[in-house]
Amino acid sequence: MGDGPIGVRGRQWRSADPSIALPSPTAPAATWDVDLVRRGSPAFWFGHGLSDTTWSYDAIAAEGTTVTVSVTDTGGRAGREVVQVYARTRPAAFDVVEAEPGQTVVTTMFLPERAFQVRDGGWRTVEGEHVVRAGRNAADLPLAATVKI
């Protein structure tokens, strides 16, 4: 069994418990079972409830460990959205954006070295190409780009 949010083991983190959600990228070194999304969804994803509008994820670009994501408010009212970037199935960065209806916003995030590390008697950076994904939550990541470490 994988770690739960912030390293808690042995707990089922599903929507049966509406007071919890998946770990946020703000949790230091948060890790969790990568099959969690397939087994069941949390009651509220990280960033849920910020907006009463809809969003399209339009484009992603990566240069080094800098990722730029473009999103558009496709709803009929102004809103806020948590744009999330995942590396190696783990949360790596996020940013909260605001937009008026029809407005496109571009956000740039800087991925920490830890996003590309594994524990191997200590933290070790895995060099090579890595796919990073962006979207509104761990189960909805429509954009992908490749970064080289």
Of 122, 124, 130, whose CA–CA distance to 148 is shortest? 130
pLDDT in tens, the chain (149 residues): 444 444 444 444 444 444 444 444 444 444 445 555 556 667 777 766 667 899 999 999 999 999 999 999 999 999 999 999 999 888 999 999 999 999 999 999 999 999 999 888 899 999 999 999 999 988 889 999 999 98
Domains of the chain, residue spans: 5-148
The model's pTM is 0.72
- Which class in CATH covers the domain with range 5-148? mainly beta
3-class DSSP state of 139: coil
Whole-angstrom distance, CA of residue 41 vs CA of residue 36:
7
